[in-house]
Amino acid sequence: MRGKDIYISMEYRKKSVRSADLMGKKVLLRCDFNVPLDKKTGAITADTRITATAPTIRFMLDRGASVITCSHLGKPKGNADPSLSLTPVAARLSDVIGSPVVFGSDITGPETRAKAAALKPGQTMLLENLRFDPREETNDPVFAKELADLADIYVSDAFGTAHRAHASTAGIAQFLPAYAGLLLEKEISIMGKALNEPKHPFVAILGGAKVTDKIGVVSNLLEKADALIVGGGMAFPFIRALGGSIGDSIFEGDSIDYCRSMIFKAAALGKPFFLPVDAIAAARFAADSPFQICRSDKIPDGYMGLDIGPDTQSRYHDAIAGAKTIIWNGPMGVFEFPAFAGGTATVAEAVANATDSGAISIVGGGDSAAAVEQLGFSFRISHISTGGGAALEFLEGKELPGIACLLNK
């Protein structure tokens, strides 16, 4: 990072809110308040996404701005679903920042416009769920202009939605000067530097259920990393591409040619490409299912691989030791079931140990973030991304519309 700008590559050198004139201004802040809710009570079960953007809010309030926060929650599909209202988020946000939060229940309607106009410096507001309006997800320019008319400046702190070209993430930048918030600044500077200026050895770890979710990511990381480690369900198409028997393990038949080409690409580049050598295979997808340890390329019919085996765990642990840059996206198995959490726990511990020894470690959002949190390693990771799909597209090297729209240096 240089000065007040973010360095990733030329297209991602964006102006930070640190460089904006905030005194007396109204700021529309796009947040990612897509928090998990208890299905029975509707209560917020984890407020990490709220606390993560609090520093940006406080920064702007302290510099004389009034802040109008906005976000989506869930998938209401353009309908006002009371179970997905941001009302509980307003209450929790008020507790987090230590001051009242005005609520705009009609998004850009007359009540909200009046409340926004009445905001004084140092005050905060939250709009109702943006996706209650069908124009949000279609990036409708009229809706984007209605949002823009509430404020003088636009700031994005929503890395988790930066891969979506919606009215509040991209369209609004046509009408207001647009800056990166402190959280977004951190996300793209840390991840960008890891990809473009990594300390070596650079080890990339990919897991999760499907290889098709990470097709572009595998290819891009093979170009940049010194070694690639693959686990989880996405390993099985690679094993099948090499002629292995994978029993009833998760498998996408149309990915075979791609997997074979990535194995050949790794060989041509002289990059180690780690695949599981053994697996913990279960008879059923259940926490209490009978299981056995077998070779990953000789899983019996009627069994499915639900975790990497002990030999693979040891091998992956050793491959991560000594790394100076680590990017990890996707668990090694079904970590939600204790019997099949060992592989993910071993990798998490190895990443944490490397971090303790000076490595930069980045864990992608989604299941990876949930795993390190659940397993108790989150405090020993350099950076845990707040974006799942956005982190994947970033690692793939795609231009994210919610970042591309921000002001360049």
Domains of the chain: residue spans and CATH: 10-188 (3.40.50.1260), 198-396 (3.40.50.1260)
Q: Which residues are catalytic?
A: 49, 210, 366, 389
- CA dist 105 and 112 (Å) reads 7
Q: What is the pLDDT of residues 345-354, one digit of tens each?
A: 999 999 999 9
Enumerate the β-bridge partners of residue 328: 205, 363
Task: Give the length of the chain.
Answer: 409
Strand 124-127 and strand 66-70: the pairing is parallel
- Residue 267, number of CB atoms within 10 A of its CB: 11
Tell me which of 235 and 373 has the higher pLDDT: 235
Give the model's pLDDT for residue 392: 84
Please give the pLDDT value at position 7: 37
Q: Which two tokens stand for residue 356?
A: 């303790």
DSSP class of residue 219? H
Q: How far apart are CA 324 and CA 39, in angstroms?
A: 41
Give yes or no for residue 5 having a pLDDT over 70. no
Check residues 34 and 409 and name the one with the higher pLDDT: 34
For residue 37, what are the β-bridge partners? 44
Query: Beta 278-282 vs 304-308: how paired, if at all?
Result: antiparallel
Give Cβ neighbours of residue 57 (< 8 Å, ≥ 6 apart). 29, 67, 69, 97, 124
Q: What is the pLDDT of residues 225-274, one digit of tens each?
A: 999 999 999 999 999 999 999 999 999 888 999 999 999 999 999 999 99
What confidence tier does 1 reach under pLDDT thresholds 50, 70, 90? very low
Count helices and strands (H / E) in the chain: 13, 17
> Rounded distance, CA 51 to CA 158, Å?
13
pLDDT at res. 36: 87
pTM of the predicted model as reported, rounded to 2 decimal places: 0.87
